[in-house]
Each structure stands twice: as structure tokens, then as C-alpha cells.
């Protein structure tokens, strides 16, 4: 073994291993802090509570109009549900017929920026499906941000 040269003094391998582990821990801590996901729930830390970023308050029901479309063909269904929506405090609930009377499920559709209000309307009306509005409605209803379509269920 001619290529291996003996060391004249003892090599401080323990000190090097300790230093390497300290550097690795420090680097891991920095990476963990930089890439930490945003917390969304209050977390108690050292006796203090950190609050997540506040969402804007929901628009009050009394300022929201809802278009209730009968998509199941049952006479008077949209009017009955519109009355129930008004009882929950919504400003307007406009009953009308959907372009198709063959909806299998009821759903709540919303315009951009109205997702949270649509979820509340779905809870109020006991409807499980909420989705963004991807089509067009008649021009007279262009101002209505939430649509409730009644299906066969």
C-alpha cells in the first residue's frame, strides 16, 4: 500500500463529525423555516395564539340575490325553494325554469368571487354540490351572483 500515507498526528475525527452534524442541523433548520407552509389554524406557542390571515367577512344574506331554477320539471318547485331561501334572509330569490328539466341533482352555481357565499347557500338549502358558473344566463339575470338549480334528488 504505497499510495496511503500515514498521518503523523492523530486525526480529530470526533470533532469533524460533530462539526458536520451541527452544520447539517443548521442547514436543515433554515430550509424548514424557508419552506414552512402557511398555517391556517391558530396555534398556541409559548402562551400566545397565532392567528391565521383573516378572510374577508361573508356578504350578508340580506344583500344577495339568488336565481332559483326548476331543473326537475315538478310544478311549483322553484317557487317553494325560493320562499325557503327568502326565509333564510336573502334579499331576492327569483324562481324560474331551467333551460333543461332533466337535472339529476340539485346544485348551487356561483360567479367568480362568490364561492364562500355559495357554500353557505348550499348549507341553507341542504344541497351537496357547489360549482363555479361556467355558462351564461339570460341578460335579465346577469346581476345575480348565485344560482340554485333544482334537480330530481
Which 3-state string (H, E, C) describes 81-137?
HHHHHHHCCCCEEEEEECCCCCCCCCEEEECCCCHHHHHHHHHHHCCCEEEECCCCC
- Distance CA(153)–CA(147), nearest Å, equals 17
Going by the DSSP 8-state scheme, the letter that residue 76 receives in this structure is T
pLDDT per position as a tens digit, 68-117 = 999 999 999 999 999 999 999 999 999 999 999 999 999 999 999 999 99
Reported confidence tier of residue 40, pLDDT bands at 50, 70, 90 = low
Cell numbers describing residue 8:
503523523
Q: Are 151 and 72 in contact (CB under 8 A)?
A: yes
Architecture of the domain whose range is 61-150: 2-Layer Sandwich (3.30)
- Distance CA(25)–CA(67), nearest Å, equals 58
- Distance CA(39)–CA(107), nearest Å, equals 31
Does the pTM of the predicted model rise above 0.75? no
- Distance CA(65)–CA(94), nearest Å, equals 8
Q: Could you tell me the residue ranges of all domains in the chain?
A: 61-150
pLDDT per position as a tens digit, 13-35 = 555 555 556 555 655 555 555 55
Q: Are 48 and 128 in contact (CB under 8 A)?
A: no
Amino acid at each position: 500500500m504505497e499510495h496511503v500515507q500515514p498521518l503523523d498526528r492523530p486525526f480529530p475525527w470526533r470533532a469533524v463529525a460533530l462539526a458536520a452534524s451541527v452544520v447539517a442541523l443548521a442547514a436543515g433548520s433554515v430550509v424548514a423555516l424557508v419552506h414552512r407552509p402557511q398555517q391556517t389554524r391558530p396555534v398556541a406557542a409559548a402562551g400566545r395564539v397565532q392567528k391565521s390571515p383573516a378572510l374577508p367577512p361573508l356578504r350578508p344574506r340580506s344583500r344577495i340575490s339568488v336565481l332559483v331554477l326548476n331543473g326537475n320539471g315538478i310544478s311549483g318547485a322553484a317557487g317553494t325553494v325560493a320562499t325557503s331561501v327568502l326565509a333564510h334572509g336573502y334579499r331576492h330569490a327569483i324562481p324560474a325554469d331551467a333551460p333543461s328539466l332533466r337535472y339529476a341533482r340539485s346544485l348551487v352555481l356561483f360567479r367568480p368571487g362568490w364561492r364562500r357565499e355559495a357554500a353557505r347557500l348550499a348549507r341553507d338549502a341542504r344541497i351537496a354540490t357547489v360549482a363555479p358558473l361556467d355558462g351564461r344566463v339570460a341578460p335579465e339575470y346577469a346581476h345575480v351572483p348565485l344560482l340554485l338549480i333544482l334537480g330530481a334528488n
